[in-house]
Amino acid sequence: MRTPSAQGHLLTKLEAILLIILLVPLGSWAHREHGFWTEVVWAGTHFEISHRLHLADAIVLLQALDPEEHIDSIRGQALLAIHVEENFSMNPPDVAGSIATIGAEIDDDFIFIYQEWHGAKPNTSPMFSHTAIFAAYPDAEARVRYQIDGTNEVLRLPKASP
């Protein structure tokens, strides 16, 4: 049987633990993977491509590219868009096409970079490469959601995609 002072000591410890749990934001308990999420959707005559990157990762990536730039500047967002343009490729084996970068915008906790791929409609799934995030996070993930006709698949690109 515990004495009243031992119970009081235990209660004080439990109160301290509960206080710590309540004061630490819930987001700090969760781990978020670093990486790009890209959607490639056939829009009738071309592919619409959108790249989504968490804003915290975009800030680190931008600092790796140019420590003087800021994520909320047009120049900073343009620099990220150019970096994606240089480090993302989509190559269907049966048709040729080209990618045009449209722009970038911040929405909530993410930056979105928009592109279009123009070429004939492919009959086979393209090969993708997306290495833009590796300048800041060498172990990051890149995923591509590819949609055309009845195909709707999510591809997890290799860490060192070609």
- Residues 106, 137: one domain? yes
- Residues 11, 85: one domain? no
- Residues 20, 66: one domain? no
Overall average pLDDT of the 27-50 stretch:
83
Overall average pLDDT of the 34-43 stretch:
93
Q: Is residue 121 part of a domain?
A: yes
Q: Is residue 162 part of a domain?
A: no
Whole-angstrom Cα distance, residue 100 to residue 85? 8
DSSP code, position 132: G
- Residues 17, 48: one domain? no
Cα Rg, the chain, nearest whole Å: 23
- Residues 100, 122: one domain? yes
- Residues 72, 143: one domain? yes
- Residues 25, 63: one domain? no
Structure confidence at residue 141 (pLDDT): 87
Q: Please tell me the total count of domains within the chain.
A: 2
Element (H, E) at 148: strand 141-148
Q: Output 107 or 32, whichever has higher pLDDT.
A: 107
- Residue among 101, 95, 103, 102 nearest 123 (CA): 95
- Residues 4, 58: one domain? no
Q: Where are the alpha helices (DSSP H) in the chain?
A: 4-23, 55-65, 74-87
Confidence at 27, pLDDT banded by 50, 70, 90: very low
DSSP code, position 114: E
Confidence check: pLDDT of 133 > 70: yes
- Residues 123, 148: one domain? yes
Q: Output 141 or 39, whichever has higher pLDDT.
A: 39
Q: Is residue 127 part of a domain?
A: yes
Confidence check: pLDDT of 81 > 80: yes
Q: Is residue 11 part of a domain?
A: yes
Whole-angstrom Cα distance, residue 55 to residue 71? 8
Specify which residues 104 forms β-bridges with: 113
pLDDT tens, position by position, 136-155: 888 888 999 999 999 999 99
Structure confidence at residue 32 (pLDDT): 59
Do the beta carbons of residue 129 and residue 161 sit within 8 Å? yes
Overall average pLDDT of the 99-106 stretch:
97
Domain of residue 137 covers 31-157
Q: What is the pTM of this model?
A: 0.78
